[in-house]
A and B are shown apart, each in its own frame.
Chain A
Amino acid sequence: MIPLGVWDMPIQYYIYLCLTLFSIGIIGVLTRRNAIIVFMCVELMLNAVNLLLVAFSKMHHGAAIARLPGSTAGIEGQLFVFFIMVVAAAEVSVGLAIIVMMYRNTHSVDINFLNRLKN
Chain B
Amino acid sequence: MGTTEILFFFLSALAIFSAIMVLVSKNPVHSVLWLIAVFFAISGHYILLNAQFLAIVNLIVYAGAIMVLFLFVIMLMNLNAETEPQKHVWMTMAGVISGGCFLMVFVSLVRQATDMNGKTALMIGGNIGLIKNLGKVLFTEYVVPFEITSVLFLSAMVGAVVIGKK
Contact = CB atoms under 8 A, between A and B. Distances in A.
Contact of A85 (B32, B62, B96): B62
Interface in A9-60: 9-17, 19-21, 23-28, 30-34, 36-37, 39-41, 43-44, 47, 50-51, 54-59
Contacts of B69: 92-93, 96
B84 A43 contact: no
A51 B13 CA distance: 15
Contacts, number: 251
- Summarize B's interface: helix, strand, loop or mixed: helix
Interface of B: 4-5, 8, 12, 15-16, 19-20, 22-23, 28, 31-32, 35, 38-39, 42, 45-46, 49-51, 53-54, 57-58, 61-62, 65-66, 69-70, 73-74, 76-77, 79, 83-87, 91-92, 94-96, 98-100, 102-103, 106-107, 110, 116, 119-126, 128-129, 133-134, 137-138, 142, 145, 149, 152-153, 155-157, 159-161, 163-164, 166
